[in-house]
Structure 1
Amino acid sequence: MKLGRLNHIGVATPSIADSIVFYRDVMGATKIHEPFDLESQGVKVCFVDTPAHSTGSGLSDSGGTQIELVEPLPGNTSIASFLEKNPAGGQHHMCYEVPDIHAAKAEFEAMGKRVLGEPRIGAHGTLIFFVHPRDMGGVLTEIMETPKDEAHLSN
């Protein structure tokens, strides 16, 4: 498995509205997308763009990493239980891109990593799956098929 682009860092929050204020007023975010419900996963999601990194050579990478704010919808138990342990919220997961989600799933399983469920459509409209944090250095890891267009920057 070759490490792909870090697409986003998921941050669980009890209030996306309050988190938007924080990222805008404290962190200086200038591009905050409209929050939306991802009912299939029981969450409300809002993406905050970070600027593309300048390499100092006049070149920049393909875009900044996003922050994915995640608030539980009624009935969601995974994010809600995370917030019970971390009432102010906090880093929930990290998401890396791969070119082929099914090949990545097979590779993780061949390594004995616990894949949590089958690939499903995530917040960027592409296939995702999660790998158990105990198998990933203590970090819940989302694996996402690289968007075929600029969805990773425009959602």
Structure 2
Amino acid sequence: MVRLMPKPVWCYLMKLSHIGILVKDIDEGIKHHKALFGFEQLGEIVDDSTQRVRVVLMGHSEDDPVKIELIAPLGEDSPVTDLLRKRQSLYHLCFEVSDIETAKAEARKSGAIVISQPVEAPLFGDRKICFLFTKDHYVIELVESEH
């Protein structure tokens, strides 16, 4: 019998927003995911100089409850460049939260490490994002919902 553990408090504060996937080239990544899953590009490609990445959202439609975010390095100093030398891969799960500071604090209480403090993200209309690393080695992005 599987024994279910109670959810950490911070899990009640969020809903799945998107899945981040690392790609070496954003244009090739778009073509590949269109062919593989029939996804469409949802919006423009964004060069995020703060995160040093090129990003774009994809899905079957704007109404998809969960989208994928393709992430490519914006130069050799990008934080994803070394990861891509190994392989293209699933990079993170992103959860939407109403209050990023509260969710971040609750995640830390559960043992998560904050790997980037909240910053504005142009891909999400300058809503705040931050990244966490969990005890189970997951990279989690939090994005603050629109108020």
TM (normalized to structure 2)? 0.82
Q: Which has the larger share of strand?
A: 2
Cα deviation digits, residues 90-146 of structure 1 (max 9, x gap): 11111001110111111122333211132111231211111114x2x2221111111
Gaps of 5+ in 2: 1-9
Alignment of 1:15 with 2:25, yes or no, is yes
Q: Which residue of 1 aligns with 2:99?
A: 100
TM norm structure 1: 0.78
Q: Which amino acid aligns with 1:78?
A: P
Is the 2:53–2:73 Cα contact (8 Å) retained in structure 1? Answer: yes
- Whether 1:127 and 2:137 are equivalent positions in the alignment is no
Partner of 1:55: none
Identity of aligned residues (%): 27
Instruction: Look up the match of 1:39.
Output: 49
Partner AA of 1:4 in structure 2: M
Deviation digits for residues 46-86 of structure 1 (CA, Å, limit 9, x no counterpart): 1102458xxxxxxxxx7421111011011434210110111
Q: Quote the Cα distance in structure 2 between the aligned partners of 1:23 and 1:110.
A: 37
1:21 maps to a residue whose letter is K
- Asked whether 1:48 is paired with 2:58, we answer yes
Q: Does 1:90 align with 2:89?
A: yes
Distance 1:38 1:77 in 2: 10
Query: What CA RMSD, in Å, does the superposition of the two structures yield over aligned residues?
Result: 1.9
How many residue pairs get matched? 135
The question of 1:72 aligning with 2:82 is answered no
Aligned residue type for 2:98: P
